[in-house]
A and B are shown apart, each in its own frame.
Chain A
Amino acid sequence: GDSVTQMEGPVTLSEEAFLTINCTYTATGYPSLFWYVQYPGEGLQLLLKATKADDKGSNKGFEATYRKETTSFHLEKGSVQVSDSAVYFCALSDLQGAQKLVFGQGTRLTINP
């Protein structure tokens, strides 16, 4: 079945550092790809998405590009802030039926001032 693999955490960075969180997927079709974020004490929120190959999703300074050839959707941000501390989940959904989300295991990110 479909699956998502994320780089293991936790990840700790200093403020203004460059961030990459790796995500690769396995899918039989051509899924949509997502990054969700969970801030402390809050529910999951959609951060960005891409629906086809070579699409770039972006939001709040975060970016990820749908790479079909490497089946990857790595999350990047050029300069992180303390407020970016959260758990980040990569996910996919197929385009048919329930369009349920298949999540990676999550990566906890801590940004130190």
Chain B
Amino acid sequence: DTGVSQDPRHKITKRGQNVTFRCDPISEHNRLYWYRQTLGQGPEFLTYFQNEAQLEKSRLLSDRFSAERPKGSFSTLEIQRTEQGDSAMYLCASSPRENTEAFFGQGTRLTVV
């Protein structure tokens, strides 16, 4: 078990471009979360999946953001028409079931120039 894996680790993109990040949770973890962390702040919740179903989305998740988890395994987070304010660390976490520890990946650092 290699833990939660995120790809890429770093992404630099020009404003207005689309980007997609991938998260591979720990095998058989059916709960998956995306968080966003800006410099000097704690992570903020973006969205939650239970298996393939997206059950909760934060108001932070504007219509330029979309997340999927096909087949309840890996997940992708896409940001369309990126803005400089999207620059942040995007964290993925997974847990096996309710009331269990969430394990975090190392994150994808996005820089929009």
For chain B, the count of residues having a C-beta within 8 Å of the partner chain is 24
Q: Which residue of the partner chain B has the closest CB to A4?
A: B42
Contacts of B41 in A (CB 8 A): 105-106
Dominant SS at the B interface? Answer: loop
Residues of B within 8 A of A97 (CB): 55-56
A74 to B48: give the CA distance in the assembly, Å: 28
B99 within 8 A of A: yes
Q: Which of A18-64 contact B (CB under 8 A)?
A: 32, 36, 42-46, 49
Q: Which among A45, A91, A98 is the interface contact of B42 at CB below 8 angstroms?
A: A91
Contacts A98-B55, A100-B48; A45 near B40 (Cβ below 8 A): no
Interface residues in chain A, defined as those with a beta carbon under 8 Å from any beta carbon in chain B: 4, 32, 36, 42-46, 49, 89, 91, 95, 97-106
